[in-house]
Amino acid sequence: MALTNEEVVRKAPLFTALDDASASTLRASMKEVKINKGQTLFKEGDSGDRLFVVVEGKLKLGTSSGDGRENLLSILGPGDMFGELSLFDPGPRTATATAVTDSKLLSLANDQVIGWVTAHPEVSLQLLGRLAQRLRRTNEVLADLVFADVPGRVAKAIMDLGEKFGVKKDDGLYVNHDLTQEELAQLVGASRETVNKALADFTTRGWVRLEPRAVVVLDYERLSKRGR
């Protein structure tokens, strides 16, 4: 059964360590932010004064090179937190956050975050845990860029998106990523042509079925083996 918005927010790292009463006090102190598909919440290089938790929708975090090429660091969904790096390591935003679909967020100002962390040390442990997880994942992505081929990275990206957004149905795992082919390529760190070729190959093998802005994983085992 789908989680309610409240349950989703409760899973965000700011909230997991809190009891229900503290969690609802924190929730009440956060500001609701709505952004439409395609709208940018903040840009790489901006100064940051708040962090965000996704309640509904999807966002992408991206960086761009001097010559305008784009790389996607992550696709965020309900329960994900972002925008905390410029708080813990004061400096400009390290990525641009853009809505992939209409989205609803909660925001908390930096000084409020510091207040919560100071009053509830267990909250900082959760935040550290989340940062460590992200570093682990980033190391993996880095290793894959060096060691894995493009089809391997595409397979892995689909599995990752599937873990986050996948819905199990009779014929397979529906991964509604809502990304364009260009965005998928930016997430994998390869050209659109090579990523399309890999997807076409997976389709021919019967591992996936492509739908507009979604992939249906038909053979989970083979696909995950390819992504390992």
Which of 134, 192, 209, 222: binder of ligand CMP (CB under 6 A)?
134
Residue 54 interacts with ligand CMP (CB under 6 A): yes or no: no
Q: CB of 3 within 8 A of CB of 71?
A: no
What is the rounded CA–CA span in Å between residue 154 and residue 207? 12
Q: Return the amino acid letter for 153.
A: R
- Beta-bridge partner residues of 103: 35
Nearer to ligand CMP, 61 or 173 (CB): 61
DSSP at 101: S
State how beta strands 70-76 and 103-109 pair: unpaired
- What is the nearest approach in angstroms of ligand CMP to the Cβ of residue 207? 26
Which residues are within 8 A (CB) of 148 and not within 5 positions of it... i.e. 6 or more apart? 156
Using rule CB under 6 A, residue 94 touches ligand CMP: yes
Instruction: Between 113 and 158, name the residue whose CB sits nearer to ligand CMP.
Output: 113
Q: How far apart are CA 13 and CA 23, in angstroms?
A: 11
Stretch that binds ligand CMP, among 2-10, 14-22, 84-92, 197-205 (CB under 6 A): 84-92
- Residue whose CB is less far from ligand CMP, 95 or 190: 95
Closer to ligand CMP by Cβ: residue 15 or 82: 82
User: Is 98 an interacting residue with respect to ligand CMP (CB under 6 A)?
Assistant: no
Whole-number minimum distance, CB 58 to ligand CMP, in Å?
14
d(CA 50, CA 48): 6
Among positions 12, 41, 61, 108, the unique one binding ligand CMP when judged by CB under 6 A = 61
Q: Does 162 bind ligand CMP (CB under 6 A)?
A: no
State the alpha helices, DSSP H only, in the chain: 5-10, 20-29, 85-88, 110-119, 121-147, 150-165, 181-188, 192-204, 220-227
Q: Is 84 in the site for ligand CMP (CB under 6 A)?
A: yes
Applying CB under 6 A, the site for ligand CMP has a residue count of 14
User: Side chain identity at 98, as an amino acid letter?
Assistant: T
> Is residue 40 part of the contact set for ligand CMP (CB under 6 A)?
no
- Applying CB under 6 A, the residues found at the interface with ligand CMP are 48, 61, 73-74, 82-86, 93-95, 134, 138
